[in-house]
Structure 1
């Protein structure tokens, strides 16, 4: 051996043998370790097989880590656990036994969950029924998830599972396949919950459809499924002759309901229009844009077109189609300029004004308001219709949403003015005009008004117009027994204080709610007989005139009578010359003042003509109110009840005069 090599080896000493020793150790490990692991697995499997339960599966699960045996599972009791661990301990091969063996307990609540970890990987945690083998349950879940899915199952066997747990677990696992990583499907006793983000739009719709029918015996708890995110968010409102089409995306179910409600309201403006909802829930709208504000803005633009489309795409709103009239084009430009929601850009406006065909306008009555929609040729026509409505409405506001447009049929103003009283007589309904055809539809509180509607419409329409009336009457929901009828009669009059204005036989508007209630009661109680007694006016004491110079004191003068014109107005109102007869919706009677100049300056003019001035008529000689004023008042109340739907044999006038004050009612046997 060369001297230099020998000297090097002497300096290295025993370190020179380490590489050879490492090589020997590695060779032994690679050769012997697998054989040791195989032997440990075989010995452990024999012990695990001895822990088989009624399900046919052992509760003990063993894994080998080098020369260590790791034990897991849930023993049925402490004795079984101790015996099993002892059998593992006496094996010759293992270096040590790492125990994670627990005991089967009762889980309250019984909770189980499946979490998607990523593509093809799902983790199971919580509790599983001890009555079901682990491998059997995993096979059921894997079948619902799809082939190729690996399970990381850490669920522990426990008692207290709800009935038909496997079906609920499989149902949740199937829903989990539509969620992205992080999605969670869980069960707590019989309550199912689901959370996560849908992988795409079809999966989102399928999830919502499937969750509408949970397994029998189970209910839905917290469901928080985020819609998928789309790269190109769009929203469209399209108006067609057949109706309104909603298309594109919507961020949430609440926003979808808002769009549907707006579409239904817009569709009501056109008879027979339908709503075709094709919206799909998805994310992707700029967070700076309010979804409901965008929806409202789109429908404000859509209200300006007959047919066409309002589209939101690439952050901008555009509108195209046929405008409802020439005024709509500058209105759309102004709305696009000043009314856009924050974050929304202005797109293209491509509108064409075409002649209106057909020419439409409608008067619609609801319990909340009376609304005019459509088109009128000029302001004068609009005011004519409003003037025909105002005197007949006391509580309901009148909303004018008409627009001006050319092309109206002849006599449109006359036709609408004639239809206004008919609409006012309805509880709900409308009069709609399409060119020279007027259609009256709705519901009346009274059978008589409903029966007369076709004839009244035919008489009121101008020449050349055609009309159709379909008015139904509300019928009482039930017939009440006599005792209930009398009790309801007393309740209807409790606190009622119906007093006529002095000298008048015209019912005050405050009478209407009480009289309507009595009329409805008469229709529900055919055997009810109501008698009405009208009151007289209270007597008034006239002031004592002061004694003039050289005159002694005079006795008190008799009570001063009401002025002649009031008595005349009362008699005229009761006989029908004044507008005292109430309509189905209570026409308002207005007191008209005496003509101007009826007495002013007459004495002075007579003196100029050389005629002596007329002597002042003594107050005692003034005309008295009509002696039959109480009877006229009672007749006015009876007439109202008859028009409101009571039968002629159900109401009558009492011959006895009621004391001064309020109208009195009585039930006849």
Structure 2
């Protein structure tokens, strides 16, 4: 028994040595065995690539096991590769992850910034581009420290120039933080993530405007970077324009700031130097802060409104004395929660020049500048409203002393010229008045430039720079005559009985005639008014016919209403001749009753009503741009058959 115990004790003493021997064998022998299997597997891999192309098979050795990956062009090629791998001496098993190349539709490839130093590729890769070849092309513009891991599967159906799109997408990921994703889906590129810095965000915006040839930018959701010192400023230059600096929290907020800036700049320049970044304190009402900043800026002649370190400050020259108190009240009463009142340093300078501007746009008329008192403001508005009754009138004027004599009178005189423009601006600087804008008609533009300086009050100067919106078209003479004959034969223009006021249906016809005359400068046209048809027996006489029609007032270019708008005309016209007045008086006497029953006498309007109607049409056509020698009013021929509508003819 003692001998048996000693034998067992010896065996136990040798066991640690056996374990050490086995560990050494595994530690030094297994890697050599794996390397041997890997070398044999690599020889199989090399046979799966055509001459000059990258093998589709990838094999990894793990101990005595082989892990096979890749996409075989066909099933038989996959089976053949697996069979050759299993035949390698010493292999315990082959784990297959080999797929078959398929058609991908849509063809989608994704690059994800999985780590700050690693980009993972997934989705579908063009079968024509090998994995190593793609990685080499993508890393050409990437830092050496950035790693690419490619798990994309080879597939057919890739868009043309895929490599250019993939390189573009990966390059954008360099400017995005961890977790960002870039996707190529057919010919559309999409991006999501957060920019790593302000400069990188601006670079992304520029890059997205220039995608690769044949590709477009789809969904983009890029968050601006976060900055610790969020600030912005609105600066008003001496010329009145605005410069925007600092940060804006989003592109939507940038649009709102630009809109507010354009409104505050009153037609002058807006220089946007804002950079996009986040960093406003949580809970602070950003839109309210921006509105307050621009409301204060509107009360500055020159200066700046700044938001920094959670405080709003203002410095510069106030618009006038009353603006100082208004600015202080705005900052005190409208400051959002979380914003403190910063330094307010304002000066009031005397007005070196007295300025006022009236700007006409498509749907509004805006008045800015100074007026001497409330009475002058009311007088100006009273002159504006009848001429711009369709537009919204926005009054931004302020009261200040020092207005030049005749200010409102000069504006009243120039108002009709502004009303004839499609868009324009009337600007006063002391005793100088300037009118700029676009007219619908070349002749009207020339007329304004020639007459405006002549009608200004004493001591005032004026200059008009008005351009015609559309160049004049010129047509052949025969085409002009044919077109006139066609146009003149179609419409029937008929005034209301006893009236010389243009009716709404006249304007399209007369505008077309004016346009034809401008395109055909050799046309010479006459217009003839018409008499009214006799009323039926016992019909009540129109009230307008009983009144005496006045002569049309002498036409001045300054008093012309805008072309295309109705011009109010008196409902009655004055009879200029004494004999005609007598005739009109006789026509009102009651006739013999028996004779009236047997042969009723027709009541006729005053004999000069056709001429008055023709003159009204001539006046409108001149406003619309016809040359004075192109249109003439003529009386009806006494022997001609009576007409009951306006007629046009060539002479």
| TM interval, short-chain normalised | 0.7 to 0.9
Q: Which moved more, 1:94-103 or 1:105-114?
A: 105-114
The residue number in structure 2 matching 1:566 is 547
2:103 equivalent among 86, 103, 106 = 106
Matched, 1:69 2:66: yes
> Given that residues 69 and 96 in structure 1 are in contact (C-alpha distance below 8 angstroms), is that contact kept between their aligned partners in structure 2?
yes
> Given that residues 517 and 630 in structure 2 are in contact (C-alpha distance below 8 angstroms), is that contact kept between their aligned partners in structure 1?
no
The residue number in structure 1 matching 2:612 is 632
1:59 equivalent among 56, 59, 68 = 56
> Given that residues 53 and 59 in structure 1 are in contact (C-alpha distance below 8 angstroms), is that contact kept between their aligned partners in structure 2?
no
> Given that residues 389 and 424 in structure 1 are in contact (C-alpha distance below 8 angstroms), is that contact kept between their aligned partners in structure 2?
no
Q: TM-score, length-normalised on structure 2?
A: 0.83
The residue number in structure 1 matching 2:192 is 195
The residue number in structure 1 matching 2:302 is 307
1:576 is displaced (CA, Å) by: 4.1
The residue number in structure 2 matching 1:602 is none
The residue number in structure 2 matching 1:649 is 630
> Given that residues 365 and 391 in structure 2 are in contact (C-alpha distance below 8 angstroms), is that contact kept between their aligned partners in structure 1?
yes
1:13 is displaced (CA, Å) by: 12
Matched, 1:335 2:316: no
> Given that residues 361 and 424 in structure 2 are in contact (C-alpha distance below 8 angstroms), is that contact kept between their aligned partners in structure 1?
yes
> Given that residues 44 and 85 in structure 2 are in contact (C-alpha distance below 8 angstroms), is that contact kept between their aligned partners in structure 1?
yes
Aligned Cα RMSD in Å? 4.0
1:139 equivalent among 122, 136, 140 = 136
**In the superposition, relative to structure 1, how do residues 50 and 458 fare at CA in structure 2: closer, same or farther (>3 Å)?**
closer
Q: Structure 2, unaligned stretches of length 5 or more?
A: 573-585, 592-602
The residue number in structure 1 matching 2:378 is 383
SS in 2 for 1:438: strand
2:344, 2:121 → 1: CA distance? 56
**In the superposition, relative to structure 1, how do residues 173 and 506 fare at CA in structure 2: closer, same or farther (>3 Å)?**
closer
The residue number in structure 2 matching 1:207 is 204
1:306, 1:492 → 2: CA distance? 57
Matched, 1:41 2:42: no
**In the superposition, relative to structure 1, how do residues 449 and 536 fare at CA in structure 2: closer, same or farther (>3 Å)?**
same
- Summarize deviations over 1:239-288 as a string: whole Å, max 9, x none: 0124311111122223323323333343344xxx4322111122223565
> Given that residues 524 and 631 in structure 2 are in contact (C-alpha distance below 8 angstroms), is that contact kept between their aligned partners in structure 1?
yes
Matched, 1:418 2:413: yes
**In the superposition, relative to structure 1, how do residues 178 and 328 fare at CA in structure 2: closer, same or farther (>3 Å)?**
same
1:113, 1:386 → 2: CA distance? 63
1:653 is displaced (CA, Å) by: 2.8
SS in 2 for 1:311: strand
The residue number in structure 1 matching 2:166 is 169
1:641 is displaced (CA, Å) by: 1.9
Aligned runs of 1:248-647 on 2, under 5 Å?
A: 248-269=246-267, 273-286=268-281, 288=283, 292-340=287-335, 347-474=342-469, 477-479=472-474, 498-500=494-496, 503-505=498-500, 507=502, 512=507, 514-526=509-521, 530-537=525-532, 566-567=547-548, 570=549, 572-574=550-552, 576=554, 582-584=560-562, 589=568, 620=589, 626-647=606-627
1:636, 1:69 → 2: CA distance? 101
> Given that residues 562 and 624 in structure 1 are in contact (C-alpha distance below 8 angstroms), is that contact kept between their aligned partners in structure 2?
no
- Summarize deviations over 1:584-616 as a string: whole Å, max 9, x none: 4569557699xxxxxxxxxxxxxxxxxxxxxxx
Aligned runs of 1:222-241 on 2, under 5 Å?
A: 222-241=219-238
1:352, 1:140 → 2: CA distance? 63
2:200, 2:447 → 1: CA distance? 58
Instruction: Provide the aligned length of Structure 1 versus Structure 2.
Output: 620
Q: Structure 1, unaligned stretches of length 5 or more?
A: 544-557, 594-616
- Summarize deviations over 1:164-187 as a string: whole Å, max 9, x none: 333322222211111111111222
**In the superposition, relative to structure 1, how do residues 495 and 579 fare at CA in structure 2: closer, same or farther (>3 Å)?**
same
**In the superposition, relative to structure 1, how do residues 399 and 124 fare at CA in structure 2: closer, same or farther (>3 Å)?**
closer
1:439 is displaced (CA, Å) by: 1.4
1:455 is displaced (CA, Å) by: 4.7
Q: Which moved more, 1:394-403 or 1:285-294?
A: 285-294
> Given that residues 305 and 314 in structure 2 are in contact (C-alpha distance below 8 angstroms), is that contact kept between their aligned partners in structure 1?
yes
**In the superposition, relative to structure 1, how do residues 136 and 542 fare at CA in structure 2: closer, same or farther (>3 Å)?**
closer
Q: Which moved more, 1:365-374 or 1:337-346?
A: 337-346
2:236, 2:484 → 1: CA distance? 51
The residue number in structure 2 matching 1:245 is 243
The residue number in structure 1 matching 2:179 is 182
The residue number in structure 1 matching 2:89 is 92
Q: Which moved more, 1:623-632 or 1:144-153?
A: 623-632
SS in 2 for 1:574: coil
2:20, 2:136 → 1: CA distance? 45
> Given that residues 489 and 518 in structure 1 are in contact (C-alpha distance below 8 angstroms), is that contact kept between their aligned partners in structure 2?
no
> Given that residues 123 and 153 in structure 1 are in contact (C-alpha distance below 8 angstroms), is that contact kept between their aligned partners in structure 2?
yes
The residue number in structure 2 matching 1:122 is 119
**In the superposition, relative to structure 1, how do residues 509 and 578 fare at CA in structure 2: closer, same or farther (>3 Å)?**
farther
1:580, 1:162 → 2: CA distance? 66
2:393, 2:42 → 1: CA distance? 87
**In the superposition, relative to structure 1, how do residues 394 and 56 fare at CA in structure 2: closer, same or farther (>3 Å)?**
closer
The residue number in structure 2 matching 1:601 is none
